[in-house]
Amino acid sequence: MSDQGREELSQVMRHRREKLAALRERGIEPFAYNFEPTATAAGAITAFEAGEADGNLAEGGYGPSFRLGGRIVGWRDMGRSVFAHVEDVSGRVQVYFKKNVVGEESFETLALLDLSDWIGVEGPTFRTRSGEVTVHVESWTLLTKSLRPLPFGKVETDAETGERIVHSGFEDQEARYRQRYADLAVHPEVREVFRTRSRVITALRRFLDAEGFLEVETPVLQPIYGGASARPFLTRHNALDRTMYLRIADELYLKRLIVGGLDRVYEISKDFRNEGLSRVHNPEFTMLEWYQAFSDYEDQMELVERLVLYVLDEVVGERRVRVGDREIPVEAPFRRLGLIDGLSEVLGRDVHEMTQEELYKKAEELGIPDLKGAGRGKLIDKLFGELVEPGLMHPTFVLDHPKELSPLAKPHRRDARLTERFELYIGGAEIFNAFSELNDPIDQRERFEAQTALREAGDDEAQQIDDDYIRALEYGMPPTGGVGMGVDRLVMMLTGQTSIRDVILFPILRTEE
RNA sequence: GACCCGGUAGCUCAGCUGGCAGAGCAACUGACUUUUAAUCAGUAGGUCGCGGGUUCGAGCCCCGCCCGGGUCACCA
């Protein structure tokens, strides 16, 4: 956005600069230093209504006086009076300026105000003829002059239903993401999504803290990345003259802490995966991981159930989530479905008894792309993703994944081909992933070596050998259950958003120009 | 990365078979002391995403590029 020279400014912005100059000529500072409100917009309305209900209004129907600060979001000039709406963090309230109340000079100066300016007003509350609680302004002060108009739509409240009707507005998705400040400023419902996001994170912390977990911080810049199968972002440390990676997961560091005797730890972290963007993928995303000594994945399923219900109770107030226009009830215990069992049922054959060639053929028949080089585990995973996953709307634990897909998970105690692992799907999306953590250092080294073989075969998402992590396991990690959770995806579910970009304040976009 | 759709005034959009660049809201001037999508009268506002090409003439047709959205792929 170029901003050099008045010639390039739009007409609208030129007018605002002219008003800015006119304000200064009148000795008014257009960018005030501070302001002390005595109430919020919603608080003033509530206080008036309480006084009204108690029969406590002064003569003329006036309630208590307040000083309010907010942004001008509506303006109706009636000649010798003006009605405006001022919006603060709590909502909007109507304010009423009358020439013979605020005084002639002050009233004339109102002409230099615009939509999106920040002002402070002071005066008693009253109810207008048409019934709206309003601040009868006795004095006002400019807090900040806005030089660029916000893209307000016209907003009408349906008198009967109370529904908010938007007549036109700020709809351009690109502009809304790039200028999230403007998106937030004109869309109260967007502000609400991010308030909910904050409440979700607070609830997650409160739950885990109460369970005796310790919140920790582990490195974002890592010399070896691990804990997940994904391509990393690379960066460079100049003084050490070496490549560093932005973390793709916290897993291996958190389990080192379990070795060290911090027996319940969690971290809420930004992780980075160098992958494509989609409705459910942002390269920079928020993950919650926790690890609990002496527990296995069965224990973790129980903990996850309690956590999900806790967050729903605390944040949403009802045990259901919205996906698109579907309402999905969430009640414990969640369904448990063996990955192999689920797939065998759909295929009408025991998957264990199918050869790799048969699995490959089946996948090909279904038109599943990009199969070349896929091993048995990957084929099973793809088939499951195609045939079973889309139907998992109600909360479902998918259990016991093939060993080669889970290099950090413990072998299943009853079936060596599988691991003790679960993924929790809600609304067709994977939100949790957990295992009984592999703590046999010899097995772990072999699994890493198998990953190295995959890497050499061209799989650039295969995991790296982390010798220091093996060393930690050699000291002894107690039996441990661990869980990873996609915070953004959980927030999507709880706010009914269909794109991850709508729950991330500043999602990744290509750079402008 | 592939395909589909889109980019026109500050915002939301229209623009026919290629023939003077349009509307609503916002802005500006004026009227109006209980309005609330205020109303009424008038005015101004454009790099039609960018660069080439075809044509007497391009917002519109052709080629290339940029940006976004969607779908797919990749991706626990």
- Going across the sheet that includes A429-436, the strands are A214-215, A264-272, A284-293, A480-486, A429-436, A421-426, A396-399, A335-338
User: What pLDDT does residue A323 have?
Assistant: 79
Residues spanned by CATH 2.40.50.140 within chain A? 3-149
Work out the number of other CB atoms within 10 angstroms of the CB of residue A438: 21
Q: Which residues of chain A have pLDDT under 50?
A: 1-7, 513
Within 7 Å: CB of A170 and strand B? Answer: yes
CA of A69 to C1' of B45 (A): 32
Nucleotides of B under 7 A from a protein CB: 1, 6, 9-13, 24-29, 31-39, 44-46, 66-76
The two most distant CA atoms of chain A are separated, in Å, by: 90
Give residues 389-448 of chain A lying near strand B (Cβ < 7 A): 405-408, 423, 430, 433
Give the nucleotide nearest to A374 (CA→C1'): B74
Within 8 A by CB and 6+ apart from A220, the residues are: A246, A247, A269, A270
Question: CB of residue A499 closer than 7 A to nucleic acid strand B?
Answer: yes
CB within 7 A of strand B (chain A, 98-157): 98-100, 111, 114-115, 126, 128-132, 134, 149, 151-157
**pTM recorded for the entire structure:** 0.91
pLDDT of residue A157: 65
Q: Name the protein residue, with chain letter, whose CA is nearest the C1' of B76.
A: A433
Which CATH number is A190-220+247-503 given? 3.30.930.10
ipTM of predicted assembly, 2 dp: 0.86
pLDDT score, position A161: 62
How big is the CA angle at A371 (ends A366 and A376), to the nearest 5 degrees?
Answer: 95
Residue A328: count other Cβ atoms within 10 Å of its Cβ.
16
Q: Where in chain A is the domain with CATH 3.30.930.10?
A: 190-220+247-503
| Residue whose structure tokens are 């309480």 | A50
Write the CATH number of the domain with boundaries A3-149: 2.40.50.140
For residue A37, give both structure tokens: 């409100």
pLDDT at A461: 78
